[in-house]
Amino acid sequence: MKLTVAAAQLALKDGDEAANLATARQACEEAAARKVELLVLPELWLSGYDLEHARELALEPDDSRWDAIAALASDHGLTVAGSLMVREGHGVRNALVIFDRSGHRVARYDKLHLFPPGGEVEHLAPGDSVQVISLGPGAAQAGDLDGVGLAICYDLRFPELFRALRGRGATLILLPAQWPHSRLAHWSLLVRARAVENQVFLVAANRTGRDGAIRYAGHSVILDPWGEAIVEAGDPAAVLSATIDLDSVAQVRARFPVWGDRRIDLFGAGQT
């Protein structure tokens, strides 16, 4: 199955939802012009990393802002994935939410690993489940899209999560992020490691630009199952796109069947 995917590398403004929504809309317009089917936006793309105001900025279940977000997908005929602050009861979660081409919410993953130096543990509640999803024909022109693993930013540092994603059938992993420039070397190393060790396509959409004292790394990338960059950005804002053949994952795994050589007697099967 061939799928045209994109990563939107955006310069966001913390707390300025109107500006960020306009920026995301421009990225959707560019992606649609390229016939993209699945677009990944950065982590917390609507609010920016304004955790001090998480409760005010987070979306409630019946929030009218959901309509504007859904319109990014439906107005441009593409599936849109990106993380948002979502409030449920007394807690706020960092949730990767996916809308299909018709603007329907079809999947959600709550970030498992919260980043203590960024204040996430004070303002957010962690998720509690690994998500490998199947998206119906409303997500891709070629039909059902299966084996999509979901992760967010700091999750990248936890290889056991990505092992679990592969163990549950992931062939494509989506990773929105707000990774800082000060740890760019770690970003470049870890996205490649997660792709090659699990033999998956990986679409990593990172924030760029500066807000306050923090400079973001950019360098969004789409990687193949060998860990090779199909397309990669530098620092400027950009929309990266590529057509990937998900059937090639099976070919890579058959050619180099490392998964079968795991010592699951010692380390487990990587499925939890």
Is the pLDDT reported for residue 212 higher than 90?
no
Cβ neighbours of 146 (radius 10 Å): 16
Where do the domains of the chain lie, and which CATH numbers do they carry? 2-264 (3.60.110.10)
pLDDT tens for each residue of 253-268: 999 999 999 998 998 7
Q: Which residues are catalytic?
A: 43, 111, 153
Q: Is the per-residue pLDDT at 97 higher than 80?
A: yes
* Tens-digit pLDDT profile for residues 140-184: 776 689 999 999 999 999 999 999 999 999 999 999 999 999 999
Band the pLDDT of 205: cuts 50, 70, 90. Answer: very high
pLDDT band at 213 (very low <50, low <70, confident <90, very high): confident
The whole-chain average pLDDT of the chain stands at 95
CB atoms within 10 A of CB 125: 18
pLDDT at 142 (0 to 100): 63
pLDDT value for 270: 65
pLDDT, position 256: 97
Residue with tokens 């913390």: 14
Mean pLDDT of 243-262: 96
Q: How far is CA 180 from the centre of its chain?
A: 16
The DSSP secondary-structure symbol of 237 reads -
Instruction: Kindly report each contact of residues 73-76 with a partner whose C-beta sits within 8 Å and lies 24 or more positions away, as own/partner.
Output: 73/28, 73/99, 73/100, 73/101, 73/102, 73/103, 74/99, 74/101, 74/102, 74/103, 75/28, 76/28, 76/29, 76/31, 76/32
